[in-house]
Amino acid sequence: MMISMIIWLSRRNEEEQFTADKGLCPGPNIDDVDRGDFLEYHNLIRREIARGLAQNSAGTLKPAKEMYELIYDCALEDAAAKSIGAACSEYVDVPPKHGQNKYTVSTRSMVALNKNDLIPQVVSSWYRPVMVYGLNANTKFDDPRLESFANIAYDKNLGVGCYYAACPAGAPTKAVFACVYNSYVSPNQILYETGKACVDDSECTTYPNSMCLDELCVTPAIVPLPRNLFFIKSENQLRKV
């Protein structure tokens, strides 16, 4: 997984991945480059899991038979923004129907960094618990220490929205990152069905008429287009950057 992340960083430096002049969502603290980075890193991990290349505490995780690509959701971004709040609280609360990951930076040198430089570290930190504590062979979420990983890896998650806030305003000493997911992962939930990653559309059956794209399944609403585009489904409408 780390090799793929390095490749992604190299690619991101070589080409403009997302436009930032027109915001996809109304949130003022992050732009479309940030949204694209959050989305890309999440889907990178999900693709590595699908391929059986993602790191476990010992060896690699079992491959996923039918892992779906995430889309970016403005409603979930709004939930993430509200959960952080104006107080930049380290405790972030969301409705129980959603999963949530958070990451807090509290050293001045780190807070001073551009948030784009921190996003890879943020998403990697949410994945890291599985490298320490491990996921069992049946992919059951039976260890609460794996919560942040479970939110990323849960195959029934289709949407994610993220937000960032630094406080206090003017001279921030703390920054909080939060991502909210469309599904809540219950204790003892199976995170994904193990098996060979998809190579054909016929292998993506969770949602009718799904497609297989680079070993991830894609819902019918998401048309496979160049990587410099990403989508959001809001009120049954699809928007493009």
Q: Which of 6-20, 32-46, 141-155 has the lowest mean pLDDT?
A: 6-20
Residue 58 — pLDDT band, cuts 50, 70, 90? very high
User: What's the pLDDT tens digit per position in 164-211?
Assistant: 988 876 677 788 899 999 999 999 999 999 999 999 999 999 888 899
Count up the domains in the chain and report the number. 1
Please report, as a single letter, which amino acid is at residue 156: K
Residue 13: CATH number of its domain: 3.40.33.10
CB 145 within 8 A of CB 133: yes
Phi/psi of residue 99, each to 5°?
Answer: -90, 160
Question: Looking at the whole model, is its pTM more than 0.75?
Answer: yes
CB 217 within 8 A of CB 69: yes
Structure confidence at residue 112 (pLDDT) = 79
Range of the structural domain that residue 115 is part of: 2-240
Q: Three-class SS string for the chain? A: CHHHHHHHHHHHHHCCCCCCCCCCCCCCCCCHHHHHHHHHHHHHHHHHHHHCCCECCCCECCCECCCECCEECHHHHHHHHHHHCCCCCCCCCCCCCCEEEEEEECCHHHHCCCHHHHHHHHHHHHHCHHHHHCCCCCCECCCHHHHHHHHHHCCCCCEEEEEEEEECCCCCCEEEEEEEECCCCCCCCECCCECCCCCCHHHCCCCCCCEEECCEEECCCCCCCCCCCCEEEECCEEEEC
Please give the Cα distance from 19 to 34 (Å, whole number).
10
Structure confidence at residue 94 (pLDDT) = 63
User: What are 62's two structure tokens?
Assistant: 């079992």
Residue 9 — pLDDT band, cuts 50, 70, 90? very low
What percent of the chain is predicted at pLDDT more than 90?
58
Structure confidence at residue 27 (pLDDT) = 76
Please give the Cα distance from 39 to 160 (Å, whole number).
8
CB 219 within 8 A of CB 207: yes
Q: Who has greater pLDDT, 19 or 35?
A: 35
